[in-house]
Chain A
Amino acid sequence: MLNKGGNRDTTRMLMDRSVSGRVGVITPELDVPAAPPLDAAYLRDSLPLPEVSEPEVVQYFTSLSQLNFSIDTHFYPLGSCTMKYNPKVNDEVAFLPGFAGIHPQQPAEQSQGALELLYRLQEFLTEVTGMSATSLATLAGAHGELAGVLMMRAYHLARGDSGRTKMGIPDSAHGTNPASAAMAGFDVVTIPSDADGNTDLAALREIAGDDLAGVMITLPSTLGLFDSHILEVCQVVHECGGLVYGDGANMNALLGRAKLGELGFDVCHLNLHKTFSTPHGGGGPGAGPVCCGEILAPYLAAPVVERVVDPGNGAGEFTLSEPAESIGKISGFHGNFGVLVRAYTYIRTLGAAGLQSISGNAVLNANYIMHALKDIYALPYDRTCMHEVVFSADRQRERGVSGLEVAKRLLDYGFHAPTMYFPLIVHEALMIEPTESETKETLDAFIDALRAIDAEATTEPELVQHAPHSTPVSRLDEATAARRPVLRWEPAAAD
């Protein structure tokens, strides 16, 4: 349940609060002679921004913050999102003036510390994925996907292999995979999953031909399962001349347990805002570095950081460079540096043993939840799961309560909802990812809540059907929001 800490009004927007003459920031006096005014053709007549004082800004935004669930305030088992604890030291170091206060185009000799950090992080991520090279320039997971599939395209074209127009993507994949493949010009071919939740090898063999550029595989899959056919998948794709892309969204399960490069993947991205604990911020910033094997390294997005050693004295200097056949520059500067600092700090804090403990506990907690609930929630794939477990609310649906309603009812119990109705191949899917950073007590309380909701589905189905009841707002009318979009504040119409 959400217990709002304060009583400041949040119903009035900034423009509703605006009072002419209120000041939020005092700017310094002009200390140089005023220049002649700009040609009036370039000057604006009015600036419709609010006028509010500093206390009001702090009170308004702080009160708004209290309308959110967050990891720091609530268990947030949102499947596929890896909502783990975000260490505070990571934020603190990212705000150091020597990091937050440096300009991306300062000469390299003025940013050697930053460049060395990036260089080391490239090496860490290359090692974690078992690849050969890494570019940190991509700003989110989907951005990494775009870079990765553009690299696959560039590789084929460089070999004169221009007929590879298709990208195979499993039916369980995140929507970003087909969207990224389309942005790179590919036609998407869907690969079904088999009865065990693995890639359907027979179906894969059917599409494996000289028009297949490659496949995009999420490992573990969005079903929370380690594809036990993965070696064969890579083999089939490679035998037809294709490449294997790894969506690293679920890498929290595999830290120190398996390396994508060793399994046969050619290129992958990592979501540093998931696996490497950088805060999600209500929808970003993230970072989606791309790691790849030797054959794709020349195509990485620019820039990458290189260490140039002076042959005379052996001293190393770090510089930005563009890989030989780079797909090009894909973001304004060198990547989301502040996020990269946080991920570096996380890896340095944990080391190899710590990362392995992360994956071990993440997978253990998910399996604990699976075992504690599979007697009452249907489990479409009854086998050891990885970092997340996907249930179906089919049995609750029979009693008139949908997966969405179960999820909404969890909000009343003070837990964020699981991911719902994804992956698309599971009816009434409820995808639960507890992560490693929750206590046994929290896991037990969550399990108790889901058991209680199942009981309510029998005894008081209306209570579940109309949930949530204790949140700042109840179910919102999304249909009207989309049919008649109101996308910004407007002054109230004069009567």
Chain B
Amino acid sequence: MVTNFQSHYIPNTPAEQDDLLAAIGLRNIDELFADIPDGYRNPTLELPAPLSELEIQRELNELAARNRPLASGPSFLGAGSYHHFIPSIVKAIMTRGEFLTAYTPYQPEVSQGTLQVIFEFQTMISALYGMEVANAGMYDGATSVAEAVLMACRVTRRQQVIVADTVSPAYRQVIATYCQAQGITIDITPADQVTGAITEATAGIVAQYPNFYGSLEDLQALGEAAHADGALLVVSADPLAMGMLKPPGEFGADIVTGEGQPLGIPPSFGGPYLGLFSCKQQYIRQMPSRLVGRTTDTEGRTGYVLTLQTREQHIRRERATSNICTNEALYALASSIYLAAMGRNGLRQAAELCYHKAHYAAAEIGKLDGYSLPQSGAFFQEFVVSCPQPPAEVNRRLMERNILGGLDVSDRFDNGMLLCVTEMNTRAEIDALVSALSEIA
């Protein structure tokens, strides 16, 4: 017999529970669980004792205090998760209960808020990437590009994909995980050899823009080479960089995915984030996950519905284009609020701030004795620095000055550190980094 515990999340009192039990002719709640076999019912559950809200806040504050937030000092770590400004209105709106505590909009008559937001989101993501269609239903940047690989194979009915070695290592690993049971061959190829590696068996090629090490690759050449052999160009692109960069759609990309986190989503130790996914119109019936379409109601009023659902798991089951159900709709809302507020000019200004500050930092660090910039060519907000000592050691000594350094990429560049500079970094922070690096050398 389980002791009854009156939680503040359960309104009915023991007396009211007894009324409900009486109405169904039972004496206690345990009788409801008689179908559970004897010996397996009411197992011991070893969990810590319950806490009051005051105590739980104290415990969580103590755990949080043992982490170093990015805002607590100069931070130059990017590599797939970025420190960008988030206007106050994003949190204020996204935490409204009407958005926060609604389900997936299966009942369109009482979900027009969520549906219209998703339609706005699809519109703005298509615009950012220069693509015809965007969905609203991917988990994160890594899984979006993995789903794009699967889709490229469906579209072309081919089973080989070339992934540039300048694509995020995490993305490459997730692609491998998603493809392990599909009979798809993944060839990781040096970025400058991708065009030469494409054959008539190639379903698609995958590039990142800017690439994981910050550089801008020649998407035009990749697209032309892919299309010459009937393969698709899949690009994973930083959506905030699209504030200034020519979008992959204008280079002929067939599927463009991305990590939506830069658009108003906090770094939050890696999630929840937001997968972005867009493609050419001709491929929409092969797209994974949710799409919202505009239509009219019985009185001719404009309204929005989930559409092309015959692609999805709840209709098509094992023949669905993906198994995705719950995804990251709340963060599609967050990024829609962000993009609406930033707008045409704000997003460009934010991107340009990142660009100029990163270039200032790179130029200053490049002047230091012992440091060099191993990559030439165009970049956006990230760049690799070759350090005079192992990056782990440099980072340790930076942290002594409360500066969070970059990602260790010494597996690819000699003592390489991948630094990221965004609009959050003031000139004083950049100068502090440069001066600290100079002392460490």
Contacts and interface: CB of A to CB of B under 8 A. Distances in A.
A281 interface: yes
Given A93-B60, A357-B7, A35 B356 contact: yes
B56 interface: yes
B66 A113 contact: yes
A97 B71 CA distance: 8
Contacts of A113: 62-67
Nearest to A384: B32
A106 B68 contact: yes
A347 interface: yes
Given A113-B66, A333-B170, A360 B4 contact: yes
Interface string B106-121: 1111111110110110
A217 interface: no
A239 interface: no
Interface residues on B, range: 35 or more
Contacts of A345: 56, 60
A65 interface: yes
Interface residues of A, number: 203
B67 A114 contact: yes
A57 B308 CA distance: 29
A65 B99 contact: yes
A114 B63 contact: yes
B326 A140 contact: yes
A285 B108 contact: no
B307 A478 contact: yes
Contact of A281 (B99, B250, B336, B427): B99
A73 B150 CA distance: 40
A96 B72 CA distance: 13
Contacts of B399: 107, 110
B77 interface: yes
B306 to A, nearest CB: 8
B141 A332 contact: yes
A288 B56 CA distance: 23
Interface string A345-383: 101111111111110110111011011100000000001
A183 B344 contact: no
B133 A2 contact: no
Interface string A220-253: 0000011010110000000000000000000000
Given A68-B113, A256-B2, A353 B60 contact: no
A189 to B, nearest CB: 10
A35 B378 CA distance: 12
A329 B170 contact: yes
A279 interface: yes
B36 to A, nearest CB: 5
A482 B293 contact: yes
Interface string B2-20: 1111110111100011011
Contact of A23 (B116, B174, B345): B345
A388 interface: no
A33 interface: yes
A402 interface: no
B47 A54 contact: no
A440 B16 contact: yes
